[in-house]
Structure 1
Amino acid sequence: MGAQDLIASTCKATPNVRLCVSTLRSNPKSAHADVGGLAILMVDATKAMATQTLQQIKTLKGSTPQLRKAIDACTFAYKMILEVDIPEAYKALPSNPNAHHCANGLKLFNSPATGLNQVVHDLSAVATSIIRMLL
């Protein structure tokens, strides 16, 4: 089975086929990866997006005092994603409730972090699906 076929068949078993396919095909390492390799690439993508989202959240802290409580909760949630969930993901990727928790805190505000937060959540769900294929 070719790399493109493996990506397509793997991604069909995930909750967001389009995100899965675009994320994996954008990474040149996917051309030579098996399903386990694809899972690692998806966790790597989740980590990169979570890092970017945390940076965006931190920039909001000084500029939006009325969001301080929500921003503090999101900062904590994303630190958990990066310090606990991502390392665990390389072992067997548990479901990732932290991005969802952050979204609840910011949903009432028009925040640039909201879109990034959704991508982290979606990437986590895709990575979880791929990891489960290996178990």
Structure 2
Amino acid sequence: MTQKIYEKMHSIRTLTVIFFMSLSLITFSSGDLIDDICRKSSDFKVCTDSLRTDPKSSSADEKGLVRILLQQCLAKATSIYNEIVFLLKETKEPVLKQCLEVCKDNYDGAKDDVAATIKSFDANDFTEAISHASAVESGPIDCEESFTEPPVRKSPTKQKSNDLINFVGLTAGLIDCISKSCLS
């Protein structure tokens, strides 16, 4: 009987030790994958704010979080494209209309490039995904440059274009991190 009591006590001690060791591991990890990932990005605040707006983020792994950012890149590019199409319909001024046509073509290409980035990313072809992401950035850059050629016009999409360029750069940096396993 004494032997059985001793074995039960030993089992209880072992379980208690395992429990407290597990608890200490949880305490020492940050427990917030979004913060951990975004610390590796070029803009922590934009990264965390963007991911926290998507309900799927709470259950996503590292690759899933970057994919969410890629989906947001596509949504941003599509939104700017739609704004440009609307502005083209409303604009009567010929030079502004010409600049907006350049933007429309470039953003149409940017949307395609984001889609290609997502496809390469999903196939774990991170080098190709980064290459496509770089191409995405050229769309808004070329769009905004069209407004700086004489006669100079004020771009109605400048801030949104700059935001997209930065967001794509942030996301491409995280794709590069995944390819080098620096997020784990």
TM-score interval, normalised by the smaller of the two chains: 0.7 to 0.9
Larger radius of gyration: 2
User: What is the CA RMSD across the aligned residues, in angstroms?
Assistant: 1.9
CA distance in 1, matches of 2:175, 2:83: 28
Is this contact kept in 2: 1:56–1:112, CA < 8 A? no
Match of 1:117 in 2: 161
Counterpart check, 1:87 vs 2:131: no
* SS state at 2:157 partner: helix
Is this contact kept in 1: 2:74–2:115, CA < 8 A? no
Residue identity (%): 23
Q: 1:131 aligns with which of 144, 168, 175?
A: 175
Is this contact kept in 1: 2:144–2:155, CA < 8 A? no
Counterpart check, 1:68 vs 2:106: no
Structure number with higher relative contact order (C-alpha < 8 Å, ≥ 6 residues apart):
1
CA distance in 2, matches of 1:128, 1:46: 11
| Runs of 4+ in structure 1 over 6 Å off | none
> What is the TM-score of this pair, normalised by structure 2?
0.65
Match of 2:106 in 1: 77
More helix by proportion, 1 or 2?
1
Q: Which runs of 5+ in 1 are unaligned?
A: none
Q: Which runs of 5+ in 2 are unaligned?
A: 1-28, 121-128, 180-184
Equivalent residue pairs, number: 133
